Amino acid sequence: MTTDPNLPLEDSGISKAIDTPAPKSTGRSRLFFIPLLMLTLFTGAVIGMYFQPPGLRVFFNATGLQPGAGTETPIAVAIQQVEKQEQVAVISEGDVVALGRIIPLGDVISVATPSGAGDARIAEIRVSRGDVVEAGDVLAVLDNLPQLQSIATSAQANLGVREANLAQTRASILASQAEAKATLERAETTANAASADLTRMTSLLERGVTTRAEFDETVARANEAGRDVERAIATLSRYATGSDTVQADIAVAEANLEAARADLARATQDLERAYVRAPVRGTVLDINARAGERPPTSGMVDLGDTSQMTVEVEVYQTLIGRVTIGDPVTVSARALSQELSGTVTAIGLEIGRQSITSDNPAANTDARVVDVIVTLDAPSSELARNFTNLEALVRIDAGRPE
């Protein structure tokens, strides 16, 4: 359509539509609502997590969802758990609640290899989990056993040689003593005969029947026979009881025998390096190695006296003043079919760092605590014997305020 240029613009609606620009404020106002909407959603989420109104709880119950369960550290759940723990810390004026772990009497013993086993490996394991062993029973055998047995056999043989040597020395002394005694008797007989000849030759010489030469020869024989007697007496005295010669020979043989006995004792003691023995009576809780492996430094067999179970409780230092020996105790855990009961039998004398902690990421892991030992009664001990190191909630009826 053509517009007449002579017509005024204000009289033409079409000209207004063409010449008037479109308004731009509508697009800007829409962009303003975007941050406002995000702020509203964020505020609603915070309010929902903090207050959790009934409508939101109904939604979570209906859908099976949990607040914050989609993360590894659920903030809302952690805060609730911390609040619950703070509420449980003191249930009444007398109760003290703390975490503990169920342990055998005297705790778990990690049995290691004998001292001096060196680089020996495990040749045989003679027990299984659950076996009850007595003190001194062999739990495992190491592969250095043949070598140590060979050394012990050699030491035993050497001891036999030294014993025979001592017996031979004593027998030789007795034989030499008998020989010296016979020699003395023979010399005395010869001397007596020579003395008789000398007496006879002296008489003949005085009567002039014999010559001087024959007389001198008889005197020489008598003197020689006398010296033979003295020599035999001296030889016999060497083998007399208490003489230095005999004592020295026997002393050397006895010293060699004692050295052989010491070698055998050492070899027998070293033989124990091949055996891993139970230090006390108890139940085999776990085996941390297999045949052919090198024994771990932390211990190859876990042993515990499960005939009497106890609970190690870590009581906060601010609450330990309430606890006394003999206080009744109740122990509970999800793994237990019923609550356990016992009494406080020991209270530690030192304040240390907490070692038993819950799986709550917001829990205090650096608390100062005192160890308290609770001895379970017979029925509770029987129920707890298969739950060593189980974390439990312990309630001590202290009976008096802090």
Residue ranges, CATH 1.10.287.620, the chain: 147-270
Q: List per-residue pLDDT tens for the chain, 402 residues long.
A: 444 444 444 444 444 444 445 455 555 566 667 777 777 777 777 676 666 666 666 666 666 666 655 555 444 443 344 334 433 444 445 689 999 999 999 889 999 888 877 788 999 999 999 999 999 999 999 999 999 999 999 999 999 999 999 888 888 777 777 787 888 888 888 888 888 877 888 887 777 777 888 888 888 888 888 888 888 887 777 766 666 666 777 888 888 999 999 999 999 998 989 999 999 999 999 999 888 888 888 888 999 999 999 999 999 998 898 899 999 999 999 999 899 999 999 999 988 888 876 655 545 556 889 999 999 999 999 999 999 999 999 999 886 544
d(CA 140, CA 159): 30
Cα 165 to Cα 149, 238, 240, 388, distances in angstroms? 24, 20, 20, 59
Q: Is the pTM of this model over 0.85?
A: no
pLDDT of the residue at 79 = 37
Residue 256's CB is within 10 A of a number of other CB atoms, namely 18
Residue 372 has a pLDDT of 95
Phi and psi at 275, nearest 5°, equal -120, 135
> What are the residue ranges of helices labelled H in 239-352?
244-271
The two three-digit tokens of residue 282, written as one number = 């108890």
β-sheet bridge partners, residue 287: 301
Q: What is the CATH number of domain 86-140+286-397?
A: 2.40.30.170
Whether 66 contacts 77, CB under 8 Å: yes
Residue 42: per-residue pLDDT: 73
* Separation in Å, CA 11 to CA 18, 240, 278: 13, 167, 116
pLDDT value at residue 38: 75
Contact 300, 112 (CB under 8 A): yes
Where does CATH 2.40.30.170 sit in the chain? 86-140+286-397
The tens digit of pLDDT for each residue in 284-296 reads: 999 998 888 888 8
C-alpha distances (whole Å) from 398 to each of 321, 332, 395 are 9, 17, 9
The CATH architecture that domain 147-270 belongs to is Orthogonal Bundle (1.10)
154-170 pLDDT tens trace: 999 999 999 999 888 88
